[in-house]
Structure 1
Amino acid sequence: MTGSVVVPASLLDEAGDALLADRAADGDARAFAVLVRRHSGMLRAYARRVLGSNAASDDVVQEALITAWRQLPELRDRAAVRGWLIRIVGRKAIDVLRAQRPAVDIDDHDAPAPEGGGPEGVAGANALAGSLDEALRTLPEAQRRAWTLRELGGLGYDEIATDLGLPVSTVRGLLARARTGLIQRMDGWR
């Protein structure tokens, strides 16, 4: 980081992901810390969704961030740092699941038929998931983030408020509006 310009912390907080990733790749720990604060809530929510455990998800996110710090100079598209971080968390979470699952010989196990009525059930579930994804995309960013952290991440109102840097009352309002919007858009699935 020889010869780099020192940037005040307040300006780093307002910088885009690409600039922060560039600076972090050059060894700027403060820029990396801003990236971590900005995306850690989503990373934890994603890890919880994959693992179903708070303790394991925190460990996975920590390991992923260590890996990210080491591999950041290799990232070509630094504007895509958020997706890259999510992929690292996903790979680490899958590694944890694989390590926890005992090996079963396939010849000793006859898998039960999936619940949900076979192909029709799978098609219906896929259609529902697609409709929910579409409905979520129509929500404003703040509502979508709050809803994702609450419903997929399992975070409480206080945790969401901390992650998003908002008052709890604002989080409650965002979630209420997100739920109302989703109910209206998903009415055909009732």
Structure 2
Amino acid sequence: MTTPATEPERSTDETEAVRRAQAGDRDAFADLVAAHAPAATRAAAWFGAGPDVDDVVQEAFVKAWQALDRFRPGAPFRPWLVRIVANQTRNTVRGRRRRDALAVRALDLRDGPDPALDALAAERQRSLLAAVRSLRPAERDVVVCRWLLGLTEAETATALGIPAGTAKSRASRALARLRAELTELEVSHDRG
């Protein structure tokens, strides 16, 4: 049975893979993609990519490859990649909203209740998803990085391009909102 690599080993291996990828080694970049694709996919899903998760992740890796020359040697790769995924998700969602708005206008559809959202609220896990999605985008992004992707406070700040203190205060506000909303959902569910 093999033991998991220690942090310094992982860091050294990753640093070497990044260095080789920056020198144009596509195999080294493929190793980085393989190592970070699951986290990138989770990030895109939690940041709201919806059905476009795979496209967002693929485009994020393309952009990461193109921007490798701007990656700071020795810095952790994952927070840098998560930042690219977050930006790509925002761009994709913004584009989707524009397309959806045009389609609604073109078809003269009226907004109505969303049965999918009603179904989501029925289960605890889905309640958490709805609560996270109801957060302000800046707070949701911090929650996704810290607790769903397991980034440290410093890595979260790096990934989102914000000061560490801002990441900490957003996390605190987001957790308070999540507790309040989930408590309210449980109370209303118990009454129903």
- The two structures have a TM-score, normalised by structure 2, of 0.45
For normalisation by structure 1, the TM-score amounts to 0.46
